[in-house]
Structure 1
């Protein structure tokens, strides 16, 4: 059975999803995770699954995609992308096969963009993020269900695209050569200019980075992504630089929000630095800019 509707963009509206809830090829995934920075220097970030909230209320038919337990590499670091084999097994358990359509949402949309990016990086294109997420869905009075739901297991089929992720060696080469790609820092302006931090081993940004705060991409009224002309203005300096765009944040989650926006703007050579600041700032030999 082929998907009844191909997804037009990386984003689908709540109206689109409501109209397609009965599509037997549709796979809806709740990817919620709760993350909090350490309270003091040297402390650990807290990461908590969103499964309890999912069990209390979710979009009808949705399965829970556990980013912490299933869609990250065990002992690989901070939400390190899983191996292609591990990802394929997890995606198959979620019912994602070659003839399915996937829509991902989360309470914080950037967990949904992370799963969207993982699917793209593993060769699966028929996936989109729910624009406005669960907050917009419930604000509009749309139906929810409680308890666990699942889809029939499937065989995930996809050819990995390693170029969608950048590693430390690539980013280091960009910094040392003073070009070759535009590095995009996805955290707040305060994080970008940081001279002190409790969140990472060292404060600062990767040298030469541009700053596009991922939260600024969203309309505060309903959590949807801003229209393309507004996004283009936010990325004006980034798009003025030719070639590849490499986004990063603390651990490769928020950076996928900037990656989605760049895709909306027509950029095709985009990568996420998976290790991000967690990895870069842990090596005292690597340079940082502050202030």
Structure 2
């Protein structure tokens, strides 16, 4: 049984000075563009808020700038293995590192990095429950200023296949009995009841809807208890014997769903990386509302 990849602030405080700890703020902010724009949002790394206050010793990871494919109009797409090995190595991750990830306002940026590391075969990574907000709420120490960073590490990936899929795989999964496609966007966006910043409104045909936001609770956006999450997933027909393909707008919030499914013991989990940022703009792909 793998360790639970969720860590509390109390647990983090107990290992904060451990030499093998690699602690990262992964925050990105989205500046949404007006309807009809060629791009739905501009990704802004959260360096300013990092420098205004972060957990002592933390480094900062720029998802779009350093850990995403720079050769596609889509944001946050998984880059090639060599680029990720180099990037994680630059930030001090090695084979014996213990990685803890957090982000402000929502854990989805942290769970995205957790999913990427999992795809690279690195399992000793955890997400901080409640992020910096929970840490602050408990009156714990805060550090200001630029990241000091960690000594470079030698990160060698052991890639797992199938954790990221493309639109062809998603299209082929339609109607397959043992596969559930789940949309992590809001119910309004899923049903096509409001304009979509990604293109055509609606969702991938046949997909169910479990918004990532419903797996979080309170002002600090801690994760709901596993018993509650299990009930929510079961209500959508997401059983442990099913293959799950999760998607959202840009392959970020869907990792919240995947994180909780993993914690519940689901084995066959996949992320559609292009998500609605790709699907909604491709007129050759079907879409439905309601």
TM (norm. structure 2) is 0.94
Question: How far apart in 1 are the matches of 2:239 and 2:101?
Answer: 31
Residues 31 and 66 in structure 1, CA contact (< 8 A), matched pair in contact too: yes
Matched residue, 1:64: 60
Out of 6, 29, 35, the residue aligned to residue 11 of structure 1 is 6
CA shift in 2, pair 1:221/1:53, >3 Å: closer
Question: How far apart in 1 are the matches of 2:193 and 2:187?
Answer: 12
CA shift in 2, pair 1:194/1:158, >3 Å: same
Matched residue, 2:36: 41
| Aligned partner of residue 238 in structure 2, secondary structure | helix
Matched residue, 1:143: 141
Question: How far apart in 1 are the matches of 2:58 and 2:240?
Answer: 40
Matched residue, 2:19: 24
Residues 39 and 198 in structure 1, CA contact (< 8 A), matched pair in contact too: no
CA shift in 2, pair 1:106/1:40, >3 Å: same
Matched residue, 1:265: 264
Out of 96, 100, 104, the residue aligned to residue 97 of structure 2 is 100
Question: How far apart in 2 are the matches of 1:174 and 1:241?
Answer: 17
Shift of 1:196: 4.6
CA shift in 2, pair 1:69/1:54, >3 Å: same
CA deviation digits over 1:40-85, x for unaligned, max 9? 2335312211011111211111000110110101022221011111
Matched residue, 2:48: 52
Question: How far apart in 1 are the matches of 2:134 and 2:193?
Answer: 36
Out of 113, 116, 135, the residue aligned to residue 115 of structure 1 is 113
Residues 186 and 248 in structure 1, CA contact (< 8 A), matched pair in contact too: yes
TM (norm. structure 1) is 0.94
CA shift in 2, pair 1:123/1:241, >3 Å: closer
Name stretches of at least 5 consecutive residues in structure 2 with no aligned partner. none
Question: How far apart in 2 are the matches of 1:46 and 1:38?
Answer: 7
Shift of 1:242: 4.0
| Aligned partner of residue 104 in structure 1, secondary structure | strand
CA shift in 2, pair 1:27/1:220, >3 Å: same
Out of 208, 216, 219, the residue aligned to residue 218 of structure 1 is 216
Name stretches of at least 5 consecutive residues in structure 1 with no aligned partner. 1-6
Matched residue, 2:83: 86
Matched residue, 1:182: 180
Question: How far apart in 1 are the matches of 2:257 and 2:240?
Answer: 16
Shift of 1:195: 4.5
